[in-house]
Amino acid sequence: MFIKSLTILMVFLSVSTFAQQDGYWDKERATNKQVVLGARNRILISSVELPVGTTELVFRMTLLDENQQLANSLASVLKAIPDPTGISQGSAGALFLMSKISGEDKCKYAVFSNEAVAKEYITSGKTENACYVQDVPLNKDAKRLSINKSTCLKANTLWFGFENKNWIMNQRIVLEIVPWVDNKLSRAWSLENRKAIIKLCKSTDLAKRIPNSDDYCVCVLDKIQKEYRFQEYQNLLAVEKIKVFKDFGASCLNETGGSKAIYASLRNEATNLYSQGKYGPAIDKTLEIVNEGKANVSDYNRLGRAYIFTKQYGKAIRFLKIGEQLDESELETKLNLAHAYLLNNNYKPAKTIYKTYQNQNINDSLGWVEKVKLDFEAFEKAGLNTNDFGAIIRVFKN
């Protein structure tokens, strides 16, 4: 007998160690009610509102004689079974939940998930629409209801209907209900709630800048779910929600590669605009990258060249110098800097740059001098100042 009891205890303890991570018995929101039911009468006892995330519950019904008291409350009994699966460990588990004392009287009962149907039971005694029925009169009973196997837990409140079959004597009924709350589901992040956050995320300006924002918005959703229960999030002020999206968005932008996608998209747009001769919009797109501190040498080179074509030579010189500092070996940046100096009537520094690199190639197939001549032709077509172009060409011949 000792060995059998020890085995049962070990089963309970092993279940406890595993299950504590998944949920808990919510003893704070348990139902514990005593009522006196008159002879041949019916009565309803409602549960307290079940907490969000309830996936299982255990209830115990006990009939007591006038001076009897329960030896242990159901909540205290469940301390030894911290996981609902422990209740179904054979007959031992069921007996473990039973009260150690009960009276001689017996009663029938039924469980309802709809208040209107439950009230109809009081007058008619019909149990066809009950979610659980005990037709055999008992003086004590204990059951486990699971959301996967019972329709009872589709409601937030349950109504227990009891019928006293005794024609003469009253009955004292004790009803105890303890819900099992799933940790994850208790946060109330239902499918619809998660969809709402994803939709809201996709409507933000930052998400709209990301070519494919799915991963980004899922990342934001995950962070919000970990930080807040759904109702906690709902209770935030509008400005607080904006800050939540901003803070989590900044983190997720880097974690999901969204930042790279944004700037890659901006570069493509800027390059296409530049190639179409739409220099103003190309400048705006490139400045977005620059202002975020994500610009590279190519960005500064494109920006400087666009400023040259729009005759903003001072700005061209400024940004081309920044690009030059990022990579001293990038000759195209140096060439555009020379162009900007020349067109801005700074002939001397322009001449120095032109002459210094005249024997090198811009890339693997295009020489420096050849590139200068091609650029001068493009500048002439654009109506830029050409007064010093001839002087520079003569420099190359010396």
Same domain for 14 and 102, yes or no, is yes
Q: What is the CATH number of the domain that holds 366?
A: 1.25.40
pLDDT category at 346 given cuts 50, 70, 90 is very high
CB-based contact 87:144 (threshold 8 Å): yes
Predicted TM-score of the model (pTM): 0.56
- Establish if 270 belongs to a structural domain: no
pLDDT of residue 32: 93
- Tens of pLDDT, residue by residue over 108-151, are 999 999 999 999 999 999 999 999 999 999 999 999 999 888 89
pLDDT of residue 82: 63
Q: Which residues, in sequence order, are CB contacts of 143 under 8 Å at separation 6+?
A: 58, 59, 132
Burial class (CB in 10 A: 0-12, 13-18, 19+), 205: exposed
Same domain for 90 and 17, yes or no, is yes
- State mean pLDDT over 389-393: 91
Domain extent at residue 236 = 188-256
- Establish if 271 belongs to a structural domain: no
Residues in the chain: 398
Mean per-residue pLDDT of the chain: 87
Question: What are the contacts of 16-22 at 24+ separation with CB within 8 A?
Answer: 16/81, 16/82, 16/83, 16/86, 18/83, 19/82, 19/83, 19/85, 19/86, 20/82, 20/83, 21/183, 22/83, 22/182, 22/183, 22/184
Is the pLDDT score of 22 beyond 50?
yes
- State mean pLDDT over 34-41: 90
- Tens of pLDDT, residue by residue over 355-388, are 999 999 999 999 999 999 999 999 999 999 778 8
Is the pLDDT score of 300 beyond 90?
yes
- Measured over the CA atoms of residue 357, residue 358, residue 360 and residue 366, the dihedral's sign is positive
User: Domain tally for the chain?
Assistant: 3
DSSP 210: S
Same domain for 37 and 169, yes or no, is yes
Residue 20 has phi, psi (to 5 degrees) of -60, -25
Q: What is the CATH number of the domain that holds 178?
A: 2.60.120.380
Residue 212 has a CB neighbour count (10 Å cut-off) of 9
